[in-house]
Structure 1
């Protein structure tokens, strides 16, 4: 399997932030410098996608503080994502960096090698992003994302403003959503309402989310 879609649903919705995983660097507001993939190339194509499931914020992000975004395939609803056409090796390196592992290391190679046999979910380990989910196909090419293997058991935690701003910016880029829709979408995700009212969320995202509607 040479080409795959990596589907982002958190801060990697924003291409500028995702490029830190591809080419290396530190995203604005983040606390980590990423080494980047072995292949620093930009995605061959980028597409906005939606897929069944739900978004939940939990754990403690070492990059942003607060909860991290996870995909819950068992939840009802739709998740707004952004698909990036990459090589299988790039996807392996992206997932490895999610787990603070070395691009090109054993985890990255193992993940890239198993993509061809993932039908729905494949859990590689207990870590935060060590479960690969197949989300169907786009233009005949399989789509994958990564999440927590027991996401339904996670305790929701409120995310930080810096993290939510990248997600909001990515929702504008990928889907052209306005601020009303972004606030409604994010506030409905478990974890967000623990730290944010809709009004506070709107204020925090001002300038990052689109206009009304």
Structure 2
């Protein structure tokens, strides 16, 4: 069985939310039920990751109150750090996660070609239509996916439920104060949420762990 790392950076930072793509189910706060993977086996392991790609929130997601969702740029940017949680899953599971994130479209991707080229746009019109290879970790390739046109998309702040999922995922990796510093500097988040607003959401999310 062939394994790859999937590096998440949006709501899939939250382990339970990501498992809805593996097992099927409706994530808390979401308005869509995910079908899950053919193989519902949980990830072998997960690890914290730092991605050198800028984080954006854009488009209007029917899953998340028609508000913005997370994307990253397709090219590394110096001194840029986007927090990620990577999951070690099978290649087939990864491709099915990509398919679910794109509302079930046909997905045919040669991951070896992605590794050779650094990225591959398999559908220019799909929200998450480009797969990016970020390197190797512990003997397995690391992939993520994003929009081919995120720089041209209308940037839009995320909804509270979507932001809460991200915050819960981040709280599993770092203290609350660090989560505040990280999110308050994001341009789309700052359009709608003050630091006080963010801290209230973080405190509410923190109770989830106590």
**1:209, CA displacement in angstroms?**
4.2
CA distance in 1 between partners of 2:204 and 2:140 (Å): 35
Gaps of 5+ in 2: none
- Which residue, out of 92, 95, 101, partners 2:95? 92
Q: What residue is the counterpart of 1:53 in the other structure?
A: 53
Q: TM-score, normalised by structure 1?
A: 0.89
CA distance in 2 between partners of 1:25 and 1:53 (Å): 30
**1:203, CA displacement in angstroms?**
0.9
- Which residue, out of 188, 193, 196, partners 1:196? 193
Q: Where in structure 2 are the equivalents of 1:60-209 lying within 5 Å?
A: 60-65=60-65, 66-74=67-75, 75-76=77-78, 77-101=80-104, 106-107=106-107, 110-111=108-109, 114-119=110-115, 120-125=118-123, 126-173=125-172, 175=173, 177-209=174-206
Report runs of 4+ in structure 1 exceeding 4 Å deviation.
Answer: none
Gaps of 5+ in 1: none
CA contact (8 A) 1:52 1:73 kept: no
**1:207, CA displacement in angstroms?**
2.9
Q: Could you say what secondary structure the match of 1:205 adopts?
A: helix
CA distance in 1 between partners of 2:30 and 2:149 (Å): 26
Instruction: Give the RMSD, CA atoms, in angstroms.
Output: 1.5
CA distance in 2 between partners of 1:87 and 1:70 (Å): 23
CA contact (8 A) 1:48 1:81 kept: yes
